[in-house]
């Protein structure tokens, strides 16, 4: 900065734009705040936090190879898992402080992690650690065991060459690293450490006699790295198309995303996802043409059983998708009925620009925040302007309104739900096979207590795509409110096996189902995970308070109740859960509220009533 302030700042911004922020987003991190030349970043998974840091480190090394030593920007990283305090959008506590001190211990271009991080990551990433012993850190009461990540050394032999044709090796000249912190989850979130990116639930997926398959995220090999969303969108469309074949079990996008670029063998991924087959590939877009290289791998034998190269004009991208799906189905010897063929290979739009806008909006639907929900709505409206008959755009737009209403982001929840219903009906008038529209409509019917209509819509969605996790979760949610708790749990757990990253609404339903069965530990686990991945899910916080209270964790319940009153001072526990058909379920929920002292204490109550509440 002393030599060239403007140039250094421009270079720093370029690194963030091209590499750092993109990698944080890919690994589902959240930038809590920036501190000039550093930043505090929070991740849902410690494995993803370390993987993100390693990829940024290696990416920065490549970017600096041709830069003179005196002009290079070098970073350090400290990573920790520990207790945190969440206040508005910021985080505090010893967990953060330890990460800050570890960052100071890292070498320029290095990563320093706590012992807890090393234990969690060991064996999951192809990196080595150097034990630097217990360190006395400033203002930290107890010594902390610390490890340095050795990026130029690997923990195990390199994986077999089954993916070499698709993934170029990154340079191992490690010079730089992101100057960031990772603060993990504390005692309130202690159960989350077992839920690592797709490992927990998909391992037990019951595939029965149907072939189980996972489509790994296709690698973007276009000159423009910003086109990654196109490669991701193509992958998702292939997943959705294959999911409509009743003879297959297809893992969701959320299930496969943690394996994006992961140095793991087919056997390892097959075990992790409980699948017999993998599809992997790359996408290169040049001018008005798109080329895809794909291969099908038998995970049990680790061998490629089919590979092909496809190239089409960009305007014929849907024909390219259909060709890939047809070849996969043919190799797996799946019999395609005429009905399945009609609903799988329907061309969604003639307008490529409209399709592009829908692809750009998808990430906001997968991990919604208030800001990206608004942004997605604008993108989808633009898609509809370009193609007023694009059913998928209407369905996705309906979903943004439903999400906003459910998450408390709507100025008028009733008006937003009405708009969502109108858009979903419009989507179905254009394409009767649109799964997302039917699922959204099912949830709206449920909210308005049209239980029979809700069941009809969800069952139609599942008939179209038996592998849609949101549809299966929707079935579970309806059964839950109807009082069929055991069947609800079965459906919701089936959804979670296909998609380990259920959205906040579906995960809340699973948490509530566990609560009603008095499985309070499991209810707490799910509610904590929902809050960790979706900060605005106050409905999960409300259930968490009741579950803590029922589990005799009074201090934890009191802490959560204080947060509820701060976040939503107008919350009325008498209104929560009133859509239960079973009066016993409603009373059980209210019993948890009473034990958690969620009911307000007013002057109209007697001293005995106040104490009881």
174-210 pLDDT, tens digit each: 222 222 223 232 322 222 222 222 333 233 333 345 7
293-346 pLDDT, tens digit each: 888 888 887 778 778 788 888 877 777 777 787 777 767 655 445 444 555 556
How do beta strands 90-92 and 85-87 pair? antiparallel
Homologous superfamily (CATH) of 202-344 is: ABC-type transport auxiliary lipoprotein component (3.40.50.10610)
What is the structure's pLDDT at 287? 79
Residue with tokens 């959320």: 254
What is the structure's pLDDT at 346? 60
Q: How far apart are CA 156 and CA 221, in angstroms?
A: 27
235, exposed or middle or buried, with CB in 10 Å at 0-12, 13-18, 19+?
Answer: buried
Q: How far apart are CA 502 and CA 505, in angstroms?
A: 8
What is the structure's pLDDT at 88? 65
4-42 pLDDT, tens digit each: 888 888 888 888 888 898 889 888 788 888 877 788 998
425-478 pLDDT, tens digit each: 999 999 888 999 999 999 999 999 999 999 999 999 998 888 889 999 999 999
Max CA-CA distance within the chain? 77
Q: How far apart are CA 176 and CA 82, in angstroms?
A: 26
What is the structure's pLDDT at 116? 86
Q: How far apart are CA 504 and CA 509, in angstroms?
A: 9
Share of the chain above pLDDT 70, in %: 84
| Distinct helix (H) and strand (E) counts, the chain | 24, 15
What is the structure's pLDDT at 475? 95
362-411 pLDDT, tens digit each: 888 877 888 889 999 999 999 999 999 999 999 999 999 999 998 888 88
Residue 433 is inside which H or E element, if any? none
Enumerate the domain spans of the chain. Answer: 5-184, 202-344, 348-466, 504-613
Report whether pLDDT(158) > 70: no
- Helix boundaries (H) for 387-465: 391-407, 413-430, 435-447, 451-464
Residue 43 is inside which H or E element, if any? strand 39-43
- Which of 439, 431, 445 has the alpha carbon at shortest distance from 463? 439
Q: Which own/partner pairs from 65-74 qualify as long-range (CB within 8 Å, at least 24 positions apart)?
A: 65/171, 65/173, 70/3, 71/4, 71/11, 72/175, 72/176, 73/8, 73/11, 73/12, 73/15, 73/176, 74/108, 74/109, 74/175, 74/176, 74/177
Q: Reduced to 3 states, what is the DSSP secondary structure of residue 146?
A: strand
Residue 108 is inside which H or E element, if any? none
- Which of 300, 234, 242 has the alpha carbon at shortest distance from 270? 300
Check residues 295 and 520 and name the one with the higher pLDDT. 520
Q: Top-level CATH class of 348-466? A: mainly alpha
Q: How far apart are CA 200 and CA 47, in angstroms?
A: 14
Q: Determine which of 66-75, 152-161, 198-207, 226-235 has the lowest per-residue pLDDT on average.
A: 198-207
Among the four given CATH numbers 3.40.630.40, 3.30.70.1230, 2.70.70.10, 3.40.50.2300, the one describing domain 5-184: 3.30.70.1230
Handedness of CA 428, 434, 437, 439 (dihedral sign): positive
Q: Which residues contact 141 (CB under 8 A, 6 or more apart)?
A: none
What is the structure's pLDDT at 201? 29
Q: How far apart are CA 135 and CA 106, in angstroms?
A: 12
What is the structure's pLDDT at 319? 78
Report whether pLDDT(97) > 90: no
Homologous superfamily (CATH) of 504-613 is: Tetratricopeptide repeat domain (1.25.40.10)
Q: How far apart are CA 291 and CA 7, in angstroms?
A: 38
**CATH topology agreement for domains 348-466 and 504-613:** yes
The conformational region for residue 29 under phi > 0 = left, psi -120 to 50 = alpha, else beta, is: beta
What is the structure's pLDDT at 58? 83
């Amino acid at each position: 900065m002393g030599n060239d302030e403007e140039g250094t700042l421009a270079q720093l911004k370029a690194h963030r734009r091209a590499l750092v922020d993109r990698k944080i987003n890919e690994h589902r991190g959240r930038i809590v705040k920036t501190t000039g030349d550093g930043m505090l970043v929070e991740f849902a998974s410690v494995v993803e936090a370390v993987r993100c840091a390693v990829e940024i480190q290696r990416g920065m090394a490549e970017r600096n190879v041709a830069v003179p030593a005196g002009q290079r920007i070098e970073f350090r990283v400290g990573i920790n898992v520990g207790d945190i305090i969440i206040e508005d959008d910021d985080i505090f506590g010893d967990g953060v402080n330890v990460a800050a001190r570890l960052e100071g211990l890292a070498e320029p271009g290095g990563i320093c992690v706590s012992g807890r991080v090393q234990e969690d990551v060991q064996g999951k990433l192809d990196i080595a650690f150097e034990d630097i012993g217990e360190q006395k850190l400033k203002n930290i009461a107890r010594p902390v065991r610390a490890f340095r990540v050795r990026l130029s050394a690997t923990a195990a032999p390199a994986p077999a060459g089954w993916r070499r044709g698709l993934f170029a090796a990154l340079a191992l000249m490690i010079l730089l690293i992101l100057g960031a912190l990772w603060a993990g989850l504390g005692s309130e979130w202690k159960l989350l450490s077992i839920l690592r990116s797709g490992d927990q639930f998909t391992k037990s997926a019951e595939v029965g006699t149907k072939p189980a398959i996972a489509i790994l995220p296709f690698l973007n090999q276009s000159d423009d790295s910003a086109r990654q969303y196109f490669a991701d969108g193509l992958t998702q469309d292939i997943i959705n198309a294959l999911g409509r074949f009743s003879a297959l079990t297809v893992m969701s996008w959320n299930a496969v995303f943690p394996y994006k670029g992961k140095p793991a063998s087919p056997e390892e991924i097959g075990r992790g996802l409980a699948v017999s087959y993998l599809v992997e590939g790359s996408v290169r877009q040049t001018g008005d043409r798109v080329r895809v290289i794909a291969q099908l791998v038998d995970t049990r034998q680790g061998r490629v059983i089919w590979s092909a190269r496809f190239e089409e004009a960009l305007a014929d991208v849907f024909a390219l998708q259909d060709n890939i799906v047809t070849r996969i189905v043919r190799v797996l010897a799946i019999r395609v009925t005429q009905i399945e063929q009609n609903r799988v290979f329907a061309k969604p739009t003639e307008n490529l620009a409209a399709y592009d806008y829908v692809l750009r909006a998808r990430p906001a639907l997968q991990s919604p925040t208030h800001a990206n929900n608004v942004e997605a709505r604008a993108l989808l409206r633009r898609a509809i302007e370009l193609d007023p008959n694009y059913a998928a755009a209407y369905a996705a737009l309906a979903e943004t309104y439903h999400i906003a209403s459910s998450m408390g982001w709507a100025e008028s929840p009733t008006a937003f739900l009405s708009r969502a219903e109108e858009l979903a009906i419009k989507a179905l008038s254009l394409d009767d096979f649109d799964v997302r529209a039917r699922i959204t409509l099912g949830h709206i019917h449920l909210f308005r207590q049209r239980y029979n209509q809700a069941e009809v819509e969800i069952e139609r969605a599942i008939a179209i795509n038996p592998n849609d996790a949101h549809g299966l979760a929707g079935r579970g949610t309806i059964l839950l409110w109807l009082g069929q708790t055991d069947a609800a749990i079965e459906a919701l757990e089936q959804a979670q096996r296909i998609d380990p990253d259920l959205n906040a609404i579906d995960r809340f339903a699973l948490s509530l189902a566990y609560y009603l069965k008095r499985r309070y530990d499991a209810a707490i686990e799910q509610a904590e995970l929902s809050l960790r991945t979706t900060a605005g899910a106050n409905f999960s916080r409300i259930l968490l308070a009741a579950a803590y209270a029922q589990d005799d964790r009074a201090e934890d319940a009191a802490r959560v109740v204080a947060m509820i009153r701060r976040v939503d001072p107008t919350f009325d526990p008498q209104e929560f859960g009133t859509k239960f058909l079973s009066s016993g379920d409603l009373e059980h929920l209210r019993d948890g509220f009473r034990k958690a002292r969620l009911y307000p204490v007013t002057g109209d109550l007697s001293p005995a009533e106040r104490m009881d509440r």
